[in-house]
Amino acid sequence: MSRNNFNFGGNDYSNTGSRLEDEFLGTVNTPKYQEEAYKTLHQDEIPTGGDPEKRFNKILELQERAHKVFDNSMAIANRNNYINFRNSMALVERCQSGNPENPNRFFSKALYNYIKGRFDPMYSLKFFTAVGGTHLDIVHKIDCYFKLYLKETGEDLVFATIDITGRKSKDKASADVLLNISPEDKDKYDPSPVNKEYDETYFNQKIAEYGEEIIQAMMDNCNKKK
């Protein structure tokens, strides 16, 4: 599908990496994600009947085990804990901390509003962060993604995946779009009152640049589905 097939509306970290992703994208509900991921891998252990008290205690035991199993990135990346890409996306979507149609970070909200404004109101847009110890982030190297839906039916049409980095040397990514935010420019994106380096003009220019890259990735992915 070409770009013109969509109706556009509106006007034409290492620790450092983790901090960058958290500040710019937000995180999933990590405890909930750990429990849901464990359930995905160990469906046969989930109690479905029997004594209610024993079932409740078993669920508590599984929750505790889940938090221990997925307490670090090496455990998540362990091949015995592998979850494929599609199932990883589904888990991430079930474990968002906020509203996918109202991102709670300044950067992701601005990016969301820009992209949403470029599509006709017949479509709805959602933003999903994968930051916070998820398989999508650690195994599949995706920090976040935008997904476009047909508003009337709720059908999901296409998505574009994103990797955000502060490393100058990183020029390749598994994601559709690589957003490179250098340490020297990071403060230009931060509008907090204590930060004197925020540059509104620069910020808006980068949001438009990144937004167009993501929209183009959506169009390219839509063409691939034909």
HSE value, Cβ hemisphere, 13 Å, CA-based, for 31: 3
pLDDT average, residue stretch 187-195: 95
Distance CA 219, CA 223 (A): 6
Q: Which residues pair with 163 in a beta bridge?
A: 178
Q: pTM to 2 decimals?
A: 0.88
Structure confidence by residue, pLDDT tens digits, 38-92: 999 988 777 777 777 777 787 788 889 889 889 889 999 999 999 999 999 999 9
pLDDT average, residue stretch 169-184: 84
Q: Is the confidence at residue 116, as pLDDT, over 70?
A: yes
CB atoms within 10 A of CB 53: 8
Contact between 45 and 62 under an 8 Å Cβ cutoff? The reply is yes
How many residues are given for the chain? 226
108 vs 224, higher pLDDT: 108
pLDDT average, residue stretch 174-200: 94
